[in-house]
Structure 1
Amino acid sequence: MTTTTEAGVLAARFEETFGAAPDGVWQAPGRVNLIGEHTDYNEGFVLPFAIDKTARVALRLRDDSTVRLLSTFGGHGLVESGLAGLAPGSGSGWTRYPLGVAWALQEHGIEVPGFDLLLDSDVPSGAGLSSSHAIECAVISALNELTEARLGAEELVLATQRAENVFVGAPTGIMDQSASLRGAKGQAVFLDCRDQHVELVPFDAEAAGLVMLVIDTKVSHSHADGGYASRRASCELGAGLLGVTALRDVGVAALDDAAALLDPTTLRRVRHVVSENERVLQTVRTLANDGPAGIGALLDASHASMRDDFEISCPELDLAVDTSRANGAIGARMTGGGFGGSAIALTPVEHEQAVRDAVVRSFAEAGYTAPDIFTVTPAAGARRIA
């Protein structure tokens, strides 16, 4: 369906459910991180792009403090909550994300009335494509407009981060919501996570004869689980022992001296973040000089670092990456927080089918669940669509 058709269908279903038309329909995209993993909460650099898979919300303000939530994909049925009782840990499943946004806006001093909300989304859940942030960014875009809060992009990013960190309990950085809120068609978002400075970097794989394949391994992950938190704690420990504000302040040349100050595990964690920051900067330069065809080796090196130093890959992700490279991809890596989710494979158009077939075959031979494989392109950020 086109965006206009999707919005109309969702609005009609909203009216059937809640008995009145919505005040509008908003959408926000998921994201693929081209490179720069676990650098965001270390005040470093990332290079994600918004994708052409979105969360869409039809929303109508109420004249009381009740919130009613429903999704098109089942799960909880109609959920009702009072705004006055919202506190960290409230809600369950996907409802935590809109409730967390309402709570964060209240904490920011915005008067948020009750609202009815109907959610639809085609961002795969648990695939490392930031389905949760897509929901949050769609909701905060709607509430920012309807309450006339007039928060800028930087404030919206921080509010959604607070919703994730405090309300949901997931210790994420600012990359995902920055890509969803600030992305643009045909562009990657080069983000400095220390000061939120953004530059849009052309990333037109199609013009270079390439496609970006996403391989959803079907190994589900959650940022609220312990693996992500433990990696963040290791990074904070490393920064403290090295006497810096954040690992952003450690250069590659300093890693040899760091070995005398850090235990082997913390050293590996620090080495990933420091080298990954440098790979992001190299990727931005390479895209400017050589285009997408020049970044394959950087994607490969990023995956090796996440697999060996940060230890956030899994056998399914490694198989997807290795098989893609062996069958024609010019570069491949896991993307997202790790411990499951998706890999990306930058692939010449003429090798796309060979890569798809080989990955499906290799997963079957290994006895793994069949992966979902699809292409993504850089898309526009969060916006009102009806």
Structure 2
Amino acid sequence: MAGTVPTARSLQDIYTHDTTTALAQGKRWNDLLTQFKATYGHDAEFVARSPGRVNIIGEHIDYSLYPVLPMAINEDAILAVSTFPSDDASKTFKIQIANLQKDKFPSHEFDIPYDAVDIDATVHEWTNYFKSGLRGALELLRKKRRDDPGFKPASMRILMHGTVPAGGGLSSSAAFVSASALAVLVANGETAVDKTELTELAIVSERAVGVNSGGMDQSASVFSERGSAVYVSFAPKLTARPVNIPKTNPELTFLIAQSFVAADKHVTGPIHYNLRVVECSLAAAYLNAALNPPSTHLPGDAAPLGISLHGFHETYFALQHHDNNPSSSDTKAPTLPEELAELVRLTKVTLTKEEGYTREEIAAALNISVSQLESRFTSRFPVRAERFKLRQRALHVFSEALRVVRFLELLEHPDRRPSSGGADTSAYNARLGALLNETQDSCRDVYECSCPEIDQLCAIARRAGSYGSRLTGAGWGGCSVHLVPADKVDAVKAAWEREYYSKMELTEEQKEAAVVVSSPGSGSAVYFVAEGSLK
């Protein structure tokens, strides 16, 4: 999965091959290119594309640097682009950006200094996501062109269209930021964009709009390959590899169901998403102070606040192994599942306050002042809380990381995945589904990131035949993902319509988008336009 972002020669290189998708995407892309010429008076040079994602398992653990298993979806952000030289006499370059949904997202024109891209994260403006990708891409370009003191970013004209529902838990922001960064790199002459570099800059870039992003969304958007889920690891460095889902009988299908409860983590971050990030980092610091020798420092890492529960995990067991076996390298270390199970146990006996911990209590445990605590953990992104639920957050992260391990073993271990003989795999399917159900229970009861509507969608689906149902994405609304046997898809959809959607006032467009039958899609791509139209 590593390597460079592919150049697509046709839309068949990007989307699934069914006729309905091909016709719909062909019309959409032609509409984009036609409107680009109508808006700017000339043809686009290329289109940059990055998709949304659905997370199969591994919820809210990426920013604690534990591996996750998402897959890309067909819904995406596409940016048609042309370039023109910046004025030599000016110290700025120009960005003209418009949206195919112009009534909802107004056009803008920016004159941007060569040395800075200002983003006001307090203003919820759609072009901030492009600016985030622009800022990250320019930082990378300056590193690559450090021997070229005369480097000036190209001015760009952009027309964007997105089909990933905003606030739906399918990573619309990551798709837009990743596609934006890719567009800027290509516009400035990067003919071979490295996937890892693009992902890493997109992860950091999205934080500019006020979200402590972990990295799963951007990784799935950039790295994914059609037909496979993607196993993303964040430590000791960012890596991704494809994971094939075995053939089963009955065949497994992923359904994505919208709750139509908006879940904009950029707006509610101080009490939801960003607060969870802070609580996880505080839990890592507290466990380190309580369980490791005095003066033990957690390693700085790629987590949003520089330390993580994964960093505590690694440090704790490294010290345990050294203390128990100071002169032996032959002693068998515990397995990863054993380590995670032990961390669950240690969390329960160490972080005992169900009601949460005050700033004063945490500062005392860390042997620092409250002002030092706030400067270190709560000043970068605003959070609002009187108490921090360290016990619950750590329990979810460690138990969810263990569920990812078990899910992956079911998919890949030769003794656990089904044979290719076509025998009934209902029991195997149910084991996969049970792990998804456990995730939903933990998200609802321990991490507290579900909502009644998501809970209802999951309950309806399970009664109608889903093996496993859970929220996907940040939570607090948005979407849910369901592992459903192919012969039960219609029954599950009918149950949702009867018990949930029929009770809502939805537009025809919303009704069509309410439920999506999904399969693993492809990641970021660049398409060079020939004479203003698709080949």
- Give distance in 2, aligned partners of 1:168 and 1:116: 22
Counterpart amino acid of residue 239 in structure 1 = A
Task: Specify the alignment match of 2:112 in structure 1.
Answer: 83
2:129 pairs with 1:100: no
- Give distance in 2, aligned partners of 1:377 and 1:275: 27
- Give distance in 1, aligned partners of 2:156 and 2:394: 44
2:321 pairs with 1:259: no
Match of residue 274, structure 2, among 219, 229, 238: 229
2:409 pairs with 1:285: yes
Residues 2-44 of structure 1, C-alpha deviation per residue, up to 9 Å, x if partnerless? 5455433322211110111111112211100001011111011
Task: Specify the alignment match of 2:97 in structure 1.
Answer: 69
Task: Specify the alignment match of 1:126 in structure 2.
Answer: 167
2:482 pairs with 1:345: yes
Task: Specify the alignment match of 1:55 in structure 2.
Answer: 77
- Give distance in 2, aligned partners of 1:351 and 1:322: 15
- Give distance in 2, aligned partners of 1:240 and 1:193: 19
What's the offset of the Cα at 1:99? 1.2
Kept in 1: contact 2:156–2:187 (CA 8 A): no
> Unaligned regions of 5+ residues in structure 1, if any?
none
Residues 149-176 of structure 1, C-alpha deviation per residue, up to 9 Å, x if partnerless? 45522221121122211x2111111111
- Give distance in 2, aligned partners of 1:43 and 1:178: 13
Kept in 2: contact 1:105–1:112 (CA 8 A): no
Secondary structure (helix, strand or coil) at the match of 2:398 reads: helix
Quickly say closer, same or farther: Cα 1:364–1:377, change in 2 above 3 A: closer
What's the offset of the Cα at 1:184? 0.5
Residues 314-341 of structure 1, C-alpha deviation per residue, up to 9 Å, x if partnerless? 0000001111011101111100011110
Counterpart amino acid of residue 278 in structure 2 = A
Secondary structure (helix, strand or coil) at the match of 1:385 reads: strand
Count residues in correspondence. Answer: 385
What's the offset of the Cα at 1:204? 6.2
Secondary structure (helix, strand or coil) at the match of 2:153 reads: coil
- Give distance in 1, aligned partners of 2:241 and 2:165: 27
After TM superposition, the score normalised by the length of structure 2 is 0.68
What's the offset of the Cα at 1:103? 1.4
- Give distance in 2, aligned partners of 1:207 and 1:142: 42
Counterpart amino acid of residue 498 in structure 2 = R
CA RMSD of aligned residues (A): 2.2
Quickly say closer, same or farther: Cα 1:365–1:17, change in 2 above 3 A: closer
Percent sequence identity over matched residues? 27
Quickly say closer, same or farther: Cα 1:168–1:358, change in 2 above 3 A: same
Counterpart amino acid of residue 312 in structure 1 = C
2:459 pairs with 1:322: yes
- Give distance in 2, aligned partners of 1:298 and 1:188: 17
After TM superposition, the score normalised by the length of structure 1 is 0.93
Task: Specify the alignment match of 2:14 in structure 1.
Answer: none
Counterpart amino acid of residue 145 in structure 1 = V
- Give distance in 2, aligned partners of 1:358 and 1:38: 29
Kept in 1: contact 2:347–2:395 (CA 8 A): no
Counterpart amino acid of residue 261 in structure 2 = V
Secondary structure (helix, strand or coil) at the match of 2:476 reads: coil
**1:1-386 equivalences in 2 (<5 Å):** 1=23, 3-64=25-86, 65-74=93-102, 75-84=104-113, 86-89=117-120, 92-110=124-142, 111-149=152-190, 150-165=192-207, 167-194=208-235, 195-203=237-245, 209-224=251-266, 225=268, 226=270, 227-243=272-288, 244=298, 245-248=307-310, 249-250=312-313, 251-262=340-351, 263-264=353-354, 265-288=389-412, 289-290=416-417, 293=429, 294-363=431-500, 372-386=514-528
What's the offset of the Cα at 1:97? 1.1
Quickly say closer, same or farther: Cα 1:215–1:154, change in 2 above 3 A: same
* Structure with bigger gyration radius: 2
Kept in 2: contact 1:329–1:351 (CA 8 A): yes
Quickly say closer, same or farther: Cα 1:116–1:365, change in 2 above 3 A: closer
What's the offset of the Cα at 1:380? 0.9
Kept in 2: contact 1:319–1:362 (CA 8 A): no
Residues 335-378 of structure 1, C-alpha deviation per residue, up to 9 Å, x if partnerless? 00111100111111211111112122222587686871111111
